Structure 1
């Protein structure tokens, strides 16, 4: 047993942080960007000396480095209806009074608030999803989720929007503001490019990410002009084409390696609330080419840090980027510097700053000395 007199004050009073992360990583199937964000957030907070508990839908069999509180322990639940509606109701049984801070990435509308600080992170908007979705049943569900987002925001202590566009869709309070999402610079950093000119895409073929549009342009226009060009698609495999490679079930390290090796990152999405892959590409020293959408426009500084092209001009912009890479060195350098300002340390410290018990950098140093 440790001598209580020799234990630093911060260790005796570690911040207890609950992270509502119903969208969470899984070792058995591919998950979205928010799930990886939740995991990285928990890891970073734990590294900073916090006692972190992630509230998830399902249990996790691997080593995480923080605590897990699954809502469904007896079976794995992947149904979206359960996550959106049943899980938040089941979460009403959780008593948050034992935590110093609660950070939520969504699906928390029915959970009981305590008097502790409750931060709601808006990774995008269901309203924009309605505008860019073609399936009527999905539109109906998203419309209801938008109403629940409004309820969630009103209940939070502070809401942090991932972009200016997202903020415009909600009635902000004085304490609410835009806080860009961070990028992991230990994972995403510049490296040696592939020998053949390569374009990287991360997303889905037939969603608003429009992977199929990119692939069709590659086959019909880019490949004929640049015979050795490659298209790397991180998505579910589809019909084979020369020069096109599909990747599935990549680790974050493997994905980061593709970002470094690619000459261009392209995601011609119709809507991104933020577009973290754009930022990850910038941090990897890779030129970003995208069609205009709210996330791309904001992250790329309206074209200062990358190339914004219309649907009609996308193939030409990609060809130009592959053949004349030196012409875009300044954009790549500016983008790299811009990405460096989006660190996990800065964003996690921003979250913790809302907690009265947080002692800032001094607390971090004390925590580090005790580990």
Structure 2
């Protein structure tokens, strides 16, 4: 059995967990059945039964998280004697004389730097240099979308998705509702969602509810009547998305866009702005999925159209959602990873 060390510092824990952490956990849960799996992540990460968990201290600040921690990983991962290392980032300091590295590129730090401001932007410009180092040293490169595939000249494109369990017993809310995953400020641009909901309430007279899934420290930025969830479980996230009439995702940049994929899997209409991730999902199949891919200036008017109905997808829309989810799942089959591991271990 191939011994795989999965390096993912983004991983479920008690605080807010983004799409990357939830995907890493899900793919590890599938891999543990067929490989000897060791997961390296930050202290406090959720334990995965069937895998060996190795924790590193959770550093504070950008320098500690993005630069000191990867340096500390160098000796630790070398000591684990892996046949293959699969990194979801933070691998730039690993020994080049160790096991072959499979690197999943989760988007472009350079593109994210251009979509950010202040210290976050500066940090991502520096991280872009570490990504270039990771690309050069990886034995096999996996992209999560066309943007990553072209930027890092990857070997395969494998979307970061697994099958989404249904939200059993959860129906659409009685009245119009919107769900958003992310922060008020930054590239996720939650402020645009708050603005669209406020304006749509005023023009339609409908009591549109807003649920936000994001960091606890961000709650104060949202209107007082916002339902704000932080540290939500996978099940709670699915229920929030499945029960909402609309998912809004006006992100300035996404390498893929896991919330948009999950909305399709849970039959929730999505209103998104154009970026590499949303465009990839929207154009993945010939059947039009239930997604409005629009300019930010059209967010309010598009929301007004959608809240005038019942919240449920029409038959044709449901067919489109089913088609895009099935296509992405076929491209993301765990067997593709197992084949890569076996080839590198020969």
Q: For this structure pair, what is the TM-score category when the shorter chain's length is used for normalisation? A: 0.7 to 0.9
| Local SS of the residue matching 1:31 | coil
1:95 matched residue in structure 2: 78
Q: Tell me the CA shift for residue 60 of structure 1.
A: 4.0
Which residue matches 1:17?
4
Question: Does residue 151 of structure 2 align to residue 169 of structure 1?
Answer: yes
Asked if 1:278 is matched to 2:274, the reply is: no
Structure 2 residues without counterparts, runs of 5 or longer: none
Q: 2:93 aligns with which of 86, 90, 110?
A: 110
Q: TM-score scaled by structure 1?
A: 0.82
Q: 1:187 to 1:345 in 2, by over 3 A?
A: farther
Matched residue, 1:134: 117
**Secondary structure class of the residue paired with 1:331:** helix
Deviation of 1:263 (Å): 1.2
Aligned position for 1:39: 25
The C-alpha deviation readout for 1:319-354, integer Å capped at 9, x for no partner, is 112214578542342122211333399532211111
Structure 1 contact 16–50 (Cα < 8 Å) conserved: yes
Residue of 321, 324, 337 corresponding to 1:338:
324
Alpha-carbon shift at residue 241 of structure 1 (Å): 4.4
Q: Which of 93, 105, 108 in structure 2 is aligned with 1:122?
A: 105
Preserved CA contact (<8 Å) 1:153 1:159? yes
Q: 1:184 to 1:69 in 2, by over 3 A?
A: same
Task: Indicate conservation of the 8 Å contact 1:233/1:245, yes or no.
Answer: yes
Cα deviation 1:218-255 (Å, max 9, x = unaligned): 11233540423211111332367476322222111011
* Distance in 1, Cα, partners of 2:182 & 2:104: 22
C-alpha displacement of 1:32: 2.4
Q: Name the CA shift for 1:107/1:114 in 2 (closer, same or farther; >3 Å).
A: same
| 2:12–2:46 contact (8 Å) kept in structure 1 | no
Q: Distance in 1 between matches of 2:272 and 2:331?
A: 28
Residue 230 and residue 316 in structure 1: after superposition, are their counterparts in 2 closer, same or farther (change >3 A)?
same
Report if aligned partners of 1:119, 1:351 keep a CA contact under 8 Å in 2. Answer: no
Q: 2:46, 2:279 → 1: CA distance? A: 39
> Whose Rg is larger?
1
8 A Cα contact 1:17 1:52, kept in partner = yes
